[in-house]
Amino acid sequence: MGANREIVLIVDDDMVNLTVARNALVDKYEVFTAPSGKKMFQILERIVPALILLDIEMPEMNGYEIIKLLKHVDRTSGIPVIFLTAKNDPASEVKGLDLGAVDYIMKPFSQELLSKRVEMHIIFEAQKLALKRYALDLEGEVIRKSQTVLELQGAILKTVAELVECRDNVTGGHIARTQNYLTILVDFMLEHGVYAEELRSWDTKLFVLSSQLHDVGKISIKDDILMKPGKLTVEEFEQMKKHTIFGMDIIEKVKENTTDNRFLLYAKALAGSHHEKWNGKGYPFGLKGPEIPLSGRMMAIVDVYDALTNDRPYKKAFSHEKSVEIIKGEKGTHFDPFIVNIFLMHEKEFKKIADEKSRQGGGNVSRIHADGLNSTSNVVANILDVRSGMKNGNAERMKHYLTVFIDALLVCDLFKDEVSSWNVDIFLMSAQLHDVGKIAVSDNLLYKSDKLTADEYEDVKTHANFGVKVVNQIKENVNDRSLLNHAEALTGSHHEKWDGTGYPLGLKGKEIPLQGRIMAIIDVYDALTSNRPHRKMITQQESVDIIKGLSGTHFDPDLVDVFLKCEKSFNVR
């Protein structure tokens, strides 16, 4: 059995259908097939699949009878079931959903469609399982640490989410308002018992925090589409729709690179499903009804309500009353009808939030949990990688280089006293924010394939000062501002030069903070050994020779000497 491959069980009395379905899935999953319900239950004595594809029309025992038996046995009751059927009437579909099926796929089916639907259901089931496990782990140590982590993460993510929002030319406060809408929507749904069982299994603070990233994928959408004042063309809209997939990819990349990624449990589902529609006509996957994660169905309503009640580049704000009527008219088509009912019962509370100025969230952080800051800083670093067109582990490489360099500095008489006074974990995490100001640099400069003009270069240079402003904005939302001292020094000084010809302040020699002098070498090394839009990468030895040649002009000569002693440990490719 393949390592780490999910198991899919296909049940169908037609050998042609079994073969076609198996061929569609066997490259990704461990696939078992059964020609009957009896054979299926024999197989289930040995395995517990991640998903069952089940034919309805079979002799001896049909699909409806089989799913009833599955749902009445604890060991198999949680296995998601997708019906494969030639039936094309709503009554059959409703019957299957009532019995616990998660989806219907009509025969004859395309292999590509089958593969994609299976992939999405396995992803969402894994997310649901992770959320349930997390809910069970919230006791003891996790509870004591979570509030501190949550507040610092909130301060950083709030700032970054608002920067993404600014690229979209969206009226200020969209992030804060949608968070407030979600908060009261959760409360009202619990009050009326709508999806209450699932909601009680959530950490709603993490859910609301994660909602800030629902549109993070827009960081990958080109300016001319994102900020277009008129209606998008069909081709442009297809590009815009990809922000949901980009968002899921960014969040998944962060999850793979951090040890404490609990606060992202809800983020991927939100990013990938808040544009799905109840009738299956949304995007990116065309999910329908309860196939759509509950978080996405909730976000869909608050996101649209906020868009309707605020100016956008292509329209003026609608009144609250008109916005409510539009949402009411989309009940059961665009939106989950049960959630719309709750919205309509309490729409005046939504109006109060819409009428208020965006609330300014204040942190209350007195200590830090390192993994929490690491997770949050990694979100920022990976967003910046994507924004700058670098999707091949730039953040992780930089962290490795810095770790090697810091270890070498700790045994160097010239630097060990200052470096040993640092919390190195905090320094490494803060380093991921060093280029945060690039989020404000326009696409045509970030992606330009030839040399920048003098004016363009001046525009790019502003990212250093802008990065300092971003870090200071984060510091305003936490009590222990010292946690971000490294980040402030790094963002503002890593483009200064030893001879005073750098930017933004023209600092010289030891006027430049040590953090910036270190990052200057590492940043240039990574740029030289990586592909960029305007040039190809060069070899490690060529890069080392260039840095050596700039000792005493661009770089601190003593730091270059340390770099030359440890650079052979840099090679991670």
Torsion sign over Cα 280, 87, 78, 246: negative
pLDDT over 70 percentage in the chain? 80
In the predicted model, what is the mean pLDDT of residues 232-244?
Answer: 91
What is the DSSP code string of 179-235? Answer: HHHHHHHHHHHHHTTSSHHHHHTS-HHHHHHHGGGTTGGGGGS-HHHHT-SSPPPHH
Band of pLDDT at residue 534, cut at 50, 70 and 90: low
Element containing residue 54 per DSSP (H, E): strand 51-55
CATH number given to 157-355: 1.10.3210.10
- Which has the minimum average pLDDT: 188-202, 450-464, 473-487? 473-487
State the pLDDT at residue 372: 39
pLDDT digits (tens, 9 = 90+) for 507-522: 999 999 999 999 999 9
In the predicted model, what is the mean pLDDT of residues 269-273?
Answer: 93
- Helix H segments across 257-369? 267-273, 294-308, 320-329, 337-345, 347-355
Domain boundaries, the chain: 7-130, 157-355, 388-569
Q: Residue 562 has which token pair?
A: 């340390």
**Quick check: 128 pLDDT over 90?**
no
Domain 157-355 and domain 388-569 have a common topology: yes
In the predicted model, what is the mean pLDDT of residues 338-365?
Answer: 75
In the predicted model, what is the mean pLDDT of residues 482-501?
Answer: 90
CATH 1.10.3210.10 fits 388-569, yes or no: yes
CATH number given to 7-130: 3.40.50.2300
Distance of CA 229 to the CA centre of its chain: 27
**Quick check: 125 pLDDT over 90?**
no
Q: Under a CB-based contact definition with an 8 Å cutoff, are residues 362 and 378 in contact?
A: no
- Listed residue (372, 398, 403, 289) closest to 335, CA to CA: 289
State the pLDDT at residue 143: 47
Global pTM reads 0.51
**Quick check: 260 pLDDT over 80?**
no
- Which has the minimum average pLDDT: 50-59, 312-321, 356-365, 419-428? 356-365
Q: Which residues pair with 31 in a beta bridge?
A: 8
